[in-house]
Amino acid sequence: MKKVLIAAAALACSFGASAYADGTVTGIVGGAATGAIVGGPVGAAVGGVVGGITGAAIDPPPREVVTYVQQAPAPEQPVVVQRPVAVGRTLPADVVVTPVPENPHYGYVVMGQQRVIVEPRSHKVVQIIQ
């Protein structure tokens, strides 16, 4: 089991700094450790992959970004989207995303009483603030 955890850690480190920023490395290591405990070497491999995907998908934005989006003035006309909005889903391409000036990796959209933090390039919803 020790070999599996060492291998998972080595794999995680090979992803580099950009993966770490996304939370992927944390997800890989956590998933591999949990998988190793539950299912041995095969569980570690599967857990590492699932953990990497999950870690990248649910890593919250920095606190400064959340604070900025909470305090930013709402536009005169809020955005209306016809389908349910959820973390991990993408907004339609025609939705205008307002960038966060201090951190260009994030933008936001105001939908009624909700403020939605979005990855500007992909329009992927990162966090919903009620």
Cα within 13 Å of Cα(25), Cβ side: 13
Does residue 88 contact residue 58 with C-beta atoms inside 8 Å? yes
pLDDT in tens, the chain (130 residues): 555 445 544 544 444 433 444 444 445 545 555 555 556 665 555 555 555 555 455 588 999 999 999 999 887 877 888 889 999 999 999 999 999 999 999 999 999 889 999 999 999 999 999 8
* 34 to 8, 9, 48: CA distances (angstroms): 11, 13, 9
Q: What pTM was estimated for this model as a whole?
A: 0.56
